């Protein structure tokens, strides 16, 4: 990168297209951390403890690092929470990265597994030829365990590593489906609902590439491997829409996320989403049987998982 940092003239490591700035290492890190602080200031106040959902990838490892830097000096406890889905040749390496980082930084780590929760690893479920794709089971079981784990850790917030690109793509997907309810559920939680640990997404205005740069500049270890069950197909259209829009008009991703927040704000002030309890497991659910229990029952019926 030829030109120098806009703030100090030292060698720039990034040209931020959507803001027209060039920044050196130190000013980029400062810019990155300030944005996370601003995002934390927008949501519900975190007081005692936050559980950070970590997968070992660049986004969640950058998040764990920056949350520890920002919150620990404020006497807010930061604990890592990882889910072992049981994906051989993939998850073990990710968990190794997480364990090493947490040990080096003296951060507590909780690991919960599908095997312990539903009685089978994702590999075992898929080997049984179930009626759904791997990501359907994975997403539902993981969300359930993240909430359970954060609650057991005594956390008053669950932080996830969703980045700007993810958030803009999800918003476009929900808009194209006309699914405003889902949009409200997937955004940061502004209300406390019994049994549900409120989610925050401090990186939702941080582009994926900037998380990668942050990891590289700070020497944060992260895992690069791609999940063997991922084909990326279901998101390809939305990724392409967001990519082309950003390419044409830098700043579009931020505009999409801002629009999402305004829509969700209108929706939230109109009527809260009513949550009851699942009749099977007792966890918060919008219907009488939560999705996790419906999927587990389906796997029992097909003989893929034994009875609990
Ligand atoms: Fe789970 Fe699908 Fe992601 Fe793999 S790609 S970790 S199966 S959600």
- For residue range 228-237, list pLDDT tens digits in order: 998 766 778 9
- Residue among 260, 284, 91 nearest 162 (CA): 260
Tokens of 264: 């969700």
Query: Between β-strands 157-159 and 49-53, what pairing exists: parallel, antiparallel or unpaired?
Result: parallel
- Our CA dihedral for 205, 206, 208, 214, rounded to 10 degrees, sits at -170
Tell me the best of 227, 231, 235 to mutate to test the pocket of ligand 1, counting ligand atoms within 8 Å of each CB and taking the most. 227
- The closest-lying atom of ligand 1 relative to the alpha carbon of residue 138 is 1
Cβ neighbour number for residue 225 with a 10 Å cutoff: 13
Q: What is the mean pLDDT of residues 230-249?
A: 88
Q: Return the residue whose CA atom lies nearest to atom 7 of ligand 1.
A: 135
- The closest-lying atom of ligand 1 relative to the alpha carbon of residue 227 is 4
Give the distance, in angstroms, between the CA of residue 302 and the centroid of all CA atoms in the same chain: 31
How far apart CA 6 and CA 34 sit, in angstroms, is 17
Q: Return the residue whose CA atom lies nearest to atom 2 of ligand 1.
A: 135
Give the distance, in angstroms, between the CA of residue 73 and the centroid of all CA atoms in the same chain: 23
Q: Is 95 left (phi over 0), alpha (psi -120 to 50) or beta?
A: alpha
Triad 78, 253, 181: Cα angle to 5°: 75
Q: Is 195 left (phi over 0), alpha (psi -120 to 50) or beta?
A: left
How far apart CA 251 and CA 246 sit, in angstroms, is 6
- How far are the Cα atoms of 92, 136, 227, 275, 294 from residue 126, in angstroms, in the given order? 18, 11, 14, 31, 17
Q: Is the pLDDT of residue 302 over 80?
A: yes
Answer yes or no: are the C-beta atoms of 81 and 146 closer than 8 Å. yes
Give the distance, in angstroms, between the CA of residue 52 and the centroid of all CA atoms in the same chain: 9
298 by DSSP, 3-state: which? helix
pLDDT computed for residue 163 by the predictor: 97
Query: Between β-strands 77-84 and 49-53, what pairing exists: parallel, antiparallel or unpaired?
Result: parallel
pLDDT over 70, % of the chain: 93
**Which residues fall within 8 angstroms of residue 238, CB to CB, at 6 or more apart?**
169, 170, 172, 173, 176
29-69 confidence digits (pLDDT tens): 999 999 999 999 887 788 899 999 999 999 999 999 999 99
Does residue 135 line the site of ligand 1, with CB under 6 A?
yes
How far apart CA 286 and CA 284 sit, in angstroms, is 7
- Residue among 225, 208, 219, 222 nearest 56 (CA): 222
Strands of the chain, DSSP E: 14-16, 21-23, 49-53, 77-84, 109-113, 157-159, 199-200, 276-277, 284-285
Distance 287 CA to ligand 1 centre (A): 25
Q: Is the pLDDT of residue 272 over 60?
A: no
Largest CA distance in the chain: 65
133-150 confidence digits (pLDDT tens): 999 999 999 999 999 999
pLDDT computed for residue 267 by the predictor: 58
Answer yes or no: are the C-beta atoms of 176 and 188 closer than 8 Å. no
199-211 confidence digits (pLDDT tens): 999 999 999 999 9
């Amino acid at each position: 990168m030829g030109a120098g940092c806009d703030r100090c003239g030292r060698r720039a490591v990034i040209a931020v297209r959507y803001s027209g700035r060039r920044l050196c290492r130190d000013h980029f890190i400062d810019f990155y951390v300030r944005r996370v602080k601003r995002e934390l200031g927008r949501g519900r106040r975190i007081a005692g403890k936050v559980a950070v959902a970590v997968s070992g990838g660049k986004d969640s490892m950058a998040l764990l690092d920056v949350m520890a830097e920002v919150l620990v000096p404020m006497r807010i406890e930061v604990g890592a929470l990882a889910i072992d889905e049981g994906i051989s040749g993939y998850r073990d390496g990710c968990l190794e990265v997480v364990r090493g980082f947490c040990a080096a930084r003296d951060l507590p780590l909780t690991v919960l597994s599908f095997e312990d929760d539903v009685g089978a690893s994702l590999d075992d479920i898929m080997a049984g030829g179930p009626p759904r794709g791997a990501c359907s089971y994975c997403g539902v079981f993981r969300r359930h365990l993240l909430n359970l784990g954060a609650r057991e850790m005594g956390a008053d917030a669950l932080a996830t590593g969703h980045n700007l690109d993810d958030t803009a793509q999800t918003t476009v997907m929900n808009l194209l489906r006309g699914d405003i309810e889902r949009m409200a559920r997937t955004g940061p939680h502004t209300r406390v609902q019994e049994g549900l640990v409120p989610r925050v997404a401090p990186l939702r205005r941080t582009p994926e590439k900037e998380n990668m740069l942050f990891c590289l500049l700070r020497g944060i270890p992260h895992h690069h491997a791609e999940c063997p069950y991922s084909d990326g197909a279901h998101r390809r259209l939305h990724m392409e829409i967001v990519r082309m829009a950003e390419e044409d008009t830098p700043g579009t991703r931020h505009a999409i996320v801002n629009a999402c927040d305004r829509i969700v704000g209108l929706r939230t002030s109109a009527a809260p989403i009513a949550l009851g309890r699942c009749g099977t497991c007792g966890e918060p659910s919008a219907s009488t049987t939560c999705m996790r229990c419906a999927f587990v029952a389906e796997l029992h019926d097909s003989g893929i998982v034994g009875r609990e």
